[in-house]
A and B are shown apart, each in its own frame.
Chain A
Amino acid sequence: MTPRVRIGASAPKAAARVMPVREGRVPFGFTEAAAASGFTGASGSACDVLGGATRVLLVGLGAVPDEEGFRSAGALAAARLCKVPRIALDATALLAEEAAAFALGAALRGWQPDGYASRPDPEAGRLATIDLLSTAPGIEAAWHVTSAALAGASLARDLVTEPSATLTPDGFIARLVPLARAGVQISVLRRKELEREGLGCLLAVGRGSVHRPRLVVLRLPGAIEAPPVAFIGKGITFDTGGICIKPADKMWEMRADMAGAAACAGAMLSLALRGSPSPAVAVLALAENAIGADSYRPGDVLRSHSGKTVEVVDTDAEGRLVLADAMSYAIQKLRPAALIDLATLTGSIITALGHEMAGMFTNDPALAAHTAAAGRQVGEPVWRMPISEAHRSDLDSDIADLRHCTSGKFQPDACHAAAFLREFTHDCPWVHLDIAGMDSRETADDRHAAGATGFGVRLLDRLVAQHFEDPHRA
Chain B
Amino acid sequence: MLEISFAKQALPKTGALVLLVDDQLAADQLEATDEATGGAITRAFAAAEFKGKPGSTCVILAPGAGLSRVVAVGIGKTEALTAKLAEEAGGHALPLLSRDTHASLAAGGLSEELAAHVGLGALLRSYRFDRYRTTEKAEDKPKLASLAVLVAHPSAAKEAWTPLKAIGDGVVLTRDLVSEPANILSPAVMAERCQALEALGLKVEVLGPKELTKLGFGALLGVSQGSANEPRVVAMHWYGASGEPTKAKKGAKATARPAPLAFIGKGVTFDTGGISIKPAAGMEDMKWDMGGAGTVVGLMAALAGRQAKVDVIGVVGLVENMPSGTAQRPGDVVTSYSGQTIEVLNTDAEGRLVLADVLAWTAKEYQPRFMIDLATLTGAMIVSLGHEYAGFFSNDDTLAQQLFAAGETTGELLWRMPLADSYDKQLKSEIADMKNITGRPGSAITAAQFIKRFVGETPWAHLDVAGVVWSSKDAATIPKGATAYGVRLLDRLVAEHFEGVSPTP
Contacts and interface: CB of A to CB of B under 8 A. Distances in A.
Contacts of B415: 385-386
B441 A354 contact: yes
Given A388-B413, A390-B388, A354 B445 contact: yes
Nearest to A415: B386
A412 B423 CA distance: 21
B442 A352 contact: yes
Contacts, number: 74
Contact of B441 (A350, A383, A391, A413): A350
B382 A412 contact: yes
A170 B411 CA distance: 50
B190 interface: no
B422 interface: yes
Given A351-B380, A386-B415, A391 B420 contact: no
A352 B423 contact: no
Residue from B388, B442, B443 having most chain A Cβ neighbours under 10 A: B442
Contacts of B442: 350-356
Contacts of B444: 352
Contacts of A54: none
A321 B327 CA distance: 49
Count chain B CB atoms within 10 A of each CB in A350, A356, A389 and give the residue with the most. Answer: A356
Interface in A138-158: none
A356 B422 contact: yes
B388 A385 contact: no
A466 interface: no
B384 A390 contact: no
A351 B443 contact: yes
Interface in A373-418: 383, 385-386, 388-391, 394, 410-415
A443 B386 CA distance: 31
A357 B441 CA distance: 11
Nearest to B386: A412
A407 to B, nearest CB: 14
A352 B387 contact: no
B417 interface: yes
Nearest to B384: A352
A389 B411 CA distance: 12
A386 B381 CA distance: 13
B379 interface: yes
A383 B385 CA distance: 13
A348 interface: yes
B441 to A, nearest CB: 4
Nearest to A357: B418
Contacts of B418: 353, 356-357, 383
A410 B384 contact: no
B389 interface: yes
Nearest to B426: A354
Tell which of B379, B384, B417, B422 has the most Cβ of chain A within 10 Å. Answer: B384
A412 B418 CA distance: 17
B256 interface: no
Contacts of B443: 351, 354
Contacts of A410: 379, 382-383
Interface in A408-450: 410-415, 437
B214 interface: no
Contacts of A353: 384, 418, 441-442, 445
A395 B446 CA distance: 30
A388 B389 CA distance: 8
Interface in B365-391: 379-380, 382-389
A44 B142 CA distance: 67
B131 interface: no
Interface string A325-356: 00000000000000000000000101111111
B440 A351 contact: yes
A391 B384 contact: no
A351 B417 CA distance: 12
Contact of A383 (B386, B387, B417): B417
- Most chain B CB atoms below 10 A, which of A351, A383, A391, A413: A351
A62 to B, nearest CB: 14
Interface string B103-134: 00000000000000000000000000000000
Contacts of A354: 423, 426, 441-443, 445-446
Nearest to B442: A354
B380 A356 contact: no
A355 B438 CA distance: 13
A148 to B, nearest CB: 28
A185 to B, nearest CB: 39
A113 B380 CA distance: 33
Nearest to B380: A351
Contact of B383 (A355, A386, A391, A411): A411
A411 B385 CA distance: 8
A389 B225 CA distance: 43
Contacts of A390: 386-388
A348 B380 CA distance: 8
Contacts of B445: 353-354
Interface string B53-90: 00000000000000000000000000000000000000
Given A350-B441, A410-B383, 16 more contacts: A348-B383, A351-B442, A352-B384, A352-B444, A353-B418, A353-B442, A354-B441, A355-B442, A356-B422, A385-B415, A386-B385, A388-B386, A388-B388, A390-B388, A394-B386, A415-B385
12 contacts: A348-B384, A350-B441, A351-B383, A351-B384, A354-B441, A356-B423, A383-B417, A388-B388, A390-B387, A412-B382, A412-B383, A415-B385
Interface of B: 379-380, 382-389, 413, 415, 417-418, 420, 422-423, 426, 440-446
Cβ-closest 7 pairs across A and B: A354-B442, A352-B384, A412-B386, A354-B441, A388-B388, A351-B383, A356-B422
